[in-house]
Structure 1
């Protein structure tokens, strides 16, 4: 695969955060918060140990988000996920297909030493 997998993940997350920030009643009014969260997610995707072979984040054995940010992203994805089907159907279907991909083995340099 090319770099399009990571790029598509970034786009999907950006769209989910934007949808949540605009439409969700419990969303914070602070737009800077969501910009920072999106930048954090982009940085985490850039540093993913699996690279282009990354599994869906919920199936990944390596949790690279800080616990508080991970919980916030889970909340955003729970709310925005079903609504994404209407707003961005192609991204949603591709994300659901990615969710079914098998989890690759952890790269050698990240495996624990025996």
Structure 2
């Protein structure tokens, strides 16, 4: 790649989005398991068709990944919101993770919720998903260096 950084192919961009979404999903699952385990048996509240869409999306992810994710309604909502933000991100080609983005597209309350999840799950990822966590740390360091050198 040249210094001006070539555009990502559609396939590479899709893989990048999927990888970012998987990291966020794993972190939310860790957070939910550690903080909301009592809510697992509670029935999901209905909010129009939104909760149904989230359930269907979660079921598809369970089928794709082969693992079952039991998220409380609040964490399922946060996961769906984070995935939607990632899917519609216009800066995906230039950034590594949302934390490195100059524009924060999250609503303030969702931004606070995702930060809480990240603070809790970040250190625990090293024990639960070490390869994913180390890859994330390396990519974050590279991005910070790139940003510093471009100033």
For the Cα contact (< 8 Å) 1:55–1:98, is it kept in 2? yes
**1:55 alignment partner in structure 2:** 96
**1:41 alignment partner in structure 2:** 82
Q: How big is the alpha-carbon RMSD for the aligned residues of Structure 1 and Structure 2?
A: 1.9
Q: In structure 1, how many angstroms separate the alpha carbons of the residues matched to 2:38 and 2:87?
A: 26
Q: In structure 2, how many angstroms separate the alpha carbons of the residues matched to 1:8 and 1:97?
A: 14
**Count of residue pairs the alignment pairs up:** 102
Q: In structure 2, how many angstroms separate the alpha carbons of the residues matched to 1:77 and 1:28?
A: 21
**1:107 alignment partner in structure 2:** none
Q: In structure 1, how many angstroms separate the alpha carbons of the residues matched to 2:93 and 2:35?
A: 31
Q: 1:16 aligns with which of 17, 27, 33?
A: 27
TM-score, normalising length: structure 2: 0.61
List alignment gaps of at least 5 residues for structure 2: 1-7, 43-71
Shift of 1:28: 7.8
Higher relative contact order (CA 8 A, sep 6+): 1
Would you identify which runs of 4 or more consecutive aligned residues in structure 1 move more than 6 Å? none
Q: In structure 1, how many angstroms separate the alpha carbons of the residues matched to 2:131 and 2:80?
A: 23
Shift of 1:97: 1.9
Q: In structure 2, how many angstroms separate the alpha carbons of the residues matched to 1:47 and 1:28?
A: 33
Larger Rg: 2
Shift of 1:37: 0.8
Q: In structure 2, how many angstroms separate the alpha carbons of the residues matched to 1:73 and 1:54?
A: 18
**2:54 alignment partner in structure 1:** none
Q: 1:7 aligns with which of 7, 18, 27?
A: 18
List alignment gaps of at least 5 residues for structure 1: 104-114
